[in-house]
Structure 1
């Protein structure tokens, strides 16, 4: 991959890396060592952060280490469909359920926009333009559920130990386990449906453009 498409991949990879990096700096800035450690755990307990970091890694690896196993994995249709699903859910949930609850300013606004809007849109555009390598199997929808499921388990365990929850709709202390578990089931259905949509779109795209997602060349 050369020319404008290569420049596009470099640009969105840099942006995807900037979002989590900036957000982490804002969270731990001027904190004590102990407080910074706590904030660090909380930082990595946000689905938004984990998803953006995964997207950043998937976009960067083919550029920085094109012959690595991770780069090959990141260019496959299945993983790209899964990451697109995570980012789409992240953006929709944030803009429909969370954005109105706070008003970030300055660098926080920049970070917020990158994490919840720019990176999701950029990655989805990249998938639309390049598709992915190899077949896109329907089983990917089931495999894609593993990451959100593990995140849900971690959130409940970590929350039970610290009484801290990354999102209001997962706050067991305020909503109780029945409502939170119901929300998790509903979110699981949403993840599965969105994943199936992306898989279907990639399968159609592969039939229309079987040579999509050419490997990146130096």
Structure 2
């Protein structure tokens, strides 16, 4: 069951990223290199790609066995946290300012609405929740922190910011720091919620047996 679900979920997530890339290339005025760099400047795209890689690692044994990171308890939890943040930020912050049409709307829903649900389902079914530790949470923040720093530096050089809450062309440095702190709290809150649910679930299962 796990391998079959991973295959289906990998197909969906890879399709979403690939189609979104094609849609972007069809409408961009930039060169292929610049457009591709901007495409992968979105946390949504990077995180969906990370999720697709994880699902693929569960389908192809040689990928799973070649890298300890893919089979380490907590990896799936971390990726689930990331993609849930993608979904929540989109639903509550970005949906009102973005109105894609046609195939762009379809892939937009895959990336921001469906794929977070797929990750949560896979986490609920297959994560080794008992083995995931609270002390892992600070390490999970490294990825969004590196992304945030890169985005600010790249934005200062190119003038391009993928999201309005990091756009120093519009907001102040103080607001940028505030936004980062809020997002960090969201990441930690969702991580803590998943770990808490996972620990409670495993404790209940243990009591039943």
Q: Secondary structure at the match of 1:166?
A: coil
Q: Which whole-Å CA distance do the structure 2 matches of 1:167 and 1:77 have between them?
A: 31
TM-score, length basis structure 2 = 0.90
Is the aligned partner of 1:14 residue 2:18? Answer: no
Instruction: Name 2:193's counterpart in structure 1.
Output: 197
Aligned length: 205
Instruction: Name 1:39's counterpart in structure 2.
Output: 35
Q: Which whole-Å CA distance do the structure 2 matches of 1:208 and 1:6 have between them?
A: 26
Structure 2: 5+ residue stretches without partners = none
Q: Secondary structure at the match of 2:134?
A: coil
Is the aligned partner of 1:170 residue 2:148? Answer: no
How far residue 61 of structure 1 moved from its aligned partner, in angstroms, is: 0.9
In 2 relative to 1, CA 167–30 (structure 1 residues): closer, same or farther, beyond 3 Å?
closer
Structure 1: 5+ residue stretches without partners = 211-218
Across the aligned residues of Structure 1 and Structure 2, the Cα RMSD in angstroms comes to: 1.9
**CA deviation profile, 1:38-82 (whole Å, cap 9, x unmatched):** 111111110001110111000111212355233x53233311111
Tell me if structure 2 keeps the 8 A contact 1:76–1:133.
no
- Match for residue 100 of structure 2 among 90, 100, 104: 104
Instruction: Name 2:59's counterpart in structure 1.
Output: 63
Tell me if structure 1 keeps the 8 A contact 2:129–2:198.
no
In 2 relative to 1, CA 13–208 (structure 1 residues): closer, same or farther, beyond 3 Å?
farther
Q: Which whole-Å CA distance do the structure 2 matches of 1:195 and 1:55 have between them?
A: 16
Identify the structure with the greater helix proportion.
2
TM-score, length basis structure 1 = 0.87
How far residue 30 of structure 1 moved from its aligned partner, in angstroms, is: 6.8
Instruction: Name 1:76's counterpart in structure 2.
Output: 72
Instruction: Name 2:137's counterpart in structure 1.
Output: 141
